[in-house]
Amino acid sequence: MSMKAIVQSAPGGVGTLTLSTIERPIPQEGQLLIRVHAAGVNRADIVQREGHYPAPPGASAIMGLEVAGEVVEVRGPSAFKVGDAVFGLVPGGGYAEYAVLDSALAIAKPERLSWVEAASLPEAWMTAWFNLVEIGHLAEGERALIHAGASGVGAAAIQLARMLGASVLASAGSADKMAFCSRLGAEHVYNWRDLEHFAPMVRQWGGADLVLDPVGGSYLAENIACMNPDGRLIFIGVMGGAQASLNLAQVLVKRLSLRGSTLRPQPLAVKARLASALAQHVLPAQAAGRVQMTVDAVYPLSEVAEAHLHMESNRNLGKIMLHVE
């Protein structure tokens, strides 16, 4: 059977993306086939479109890492049945009318959430939980520096850090983004465009025990300089370059940990643990009003090029989403 999906003719710009009719994916044992109603757009999709972030072996080459929709087929034992409303993280294939979702990663969609709201949660919140909780061990009373705080992951990380009892300093690139970060719970927000060197300001605030950084090379020296003893620096991107010199003396004296982190290639068991954390901790917090939804813009699937350009413009406050008719 066929479906509509966004396919790519070759690596490159948004002009390489087209809405085409292709064959539906076939779920394997332990998987669900989902009729997709909404899918998230992530920075990783841009990098994949440009040819620098290929899909893992065995995953769909179609972009899209998170979906929400209705179960139409179940293969193997599962907590879900045909007709159930679910959302979850996928290794690819989200920009389509149908997608395959591992049953272990599927989360029941609460009625209070729209399809778009549900689909906006997995990538950002599972990334935030993986890096702040499992890797970063962020503790109550510590200070977290969240770069690009108005991004999808940044917005989730600010809120999660506050849930964990940490204080948050966030960076953003405009007055609107600064106000957005403050509304999410960041006690201190600075405009990175106004600061050539942010380390002195962070040290004046008390220093950072954990830094979550999607920028990379151009921020390395300042990150190292602003961190407290036993601080943890976690790289989740290299938007500011992949090369930098490192002052090992500071790393040694302050006993710093530097860690690179990507969610997509993690084993299924790790992702299942993160999905469980989202269901057991984030959804109840959202229901109680302690977590805000952060959907910035919604585009129909046919306007995926405009959604990518919106992300590349760095204007978004939170998540950019696709609605699948």
**pLDDT tens sequence across 275-311:** 999 999 999 999 999 999 999 999 999 999 999 999 9
> What was the pLDDT predicted at 325?
83
Residues 71, 18 share a domain? yes
Other CB atoms within 10 A of residue 245 CB: 8
For residue 30, CA distances in Å to 79, 94, 104, 123 come to 10, 18, 8, 21
Q: Quick one: 303 and 223 in the same domain? A: no
- The whole-chain average pLDDT of the chain stands at 96
Verify that 12 and 80 share a domain, yes or no: yes
Position 241 scores a pLDDT of: 85
Which pLDDT belongs to residue 3?
98
- Whether residue 231 lies inside any domain: the answer is yes
Q: What is the mean predicted confidence (pLDDT) over 248-262?
A: 96
Contact (CB, 8 A) for 147 and 186: no
The 3-state secondary structure of the chain, one letter per residue: CEEEEEEECCCCCHHHEEEEEEECCCCCCCEEEEEEEEEEECHHHHHHHCCCCCCCCCCCCCCCCEEEEEEEEECCCCCCCCCCEEEEECCCCCCECEEEEEHHHCEECCCCCCHHHHHCCHHHHHHHHHHHHHHCCCCCCCEEEECCCCCHHHHHHHHHHHHCCCEEEEEECCHHHHHHHHHHCCCEEEEHHHCCCCHHHHHHHCCEEEEEECCCHHHHHHHHHHEEEEEEEEECCCCCCCCCCCCHHHHHHCCCEEEECCCCCCCHHHHHHHHHHHHHHHHHHHHCCCCCCCEEEEEEHHHHHHHHHHHHCCCCCCEEEEECC
The answer to whether residues 30 and 46 belong to one domain is yes
Do 216 and 309 lie in one domain? The reply is no
Tell me whether residue 229 is exposed, middle or buried, using C-beta atoms within 10 angstroms of its C-beta: 0 to 12, 13 to 18, 19 or more: exposed
| Sign of the four-CA dihedral 296, 51, 17, 267 | negative
Q: Has residue 271 been placed in a domain?
A: no
Out of 260, 284, 312, pick the residue that ends a domain.
Answer: 260
Q: What is the CATH number of the domain that holds 218?
A: 3.40.50.720
Pair (162, 240) in one structural domain: yes
CATH code at position 300: 3.90.180.10
> How far, in Å, CA of 171 to CA of 105, rounded?
31
**Inter-CA distances, 167 with 77, 262, 291, Å:** 42, 24, 16
Higher-confidence residue: 63 or 217? 63
Structural domain including 218 reads 124-260
**Tell me, what's the pLDDT at 219?**
92
Residue 217 has pLDDT above 90, yes or no: no
User: Does 19 share its domain with 41?
Assistant: yes
pLDDT of 131 over the 90 cut: yes
Token pair belonging to 250? 């500071």
Please report which confidence band the pLDDT of residue 242 belongs to, taking 50, 70 and 90 as the band edges. confident
Length of the chain as a residue count: 325
pTM metric for this prediction: 0.95
Query: Is residue 273 in a domain?
Result: no
In a domain? residue 14:
yes
pLDDT digits (tens, 9 = 90+) for 262-275: 999 999 999 999 99
pLDDT at 32 over 90: yes
How many structural domains does the chain have?
A: 2
Residue pLDDT, tens place only, 83-108: 999 999 999 999 999 999 999 999 99
Instruction: Please tell me whether residues 255 and 297 are part of one structural domain.
Output: no
- Residues 161, 238 share a domain: yes
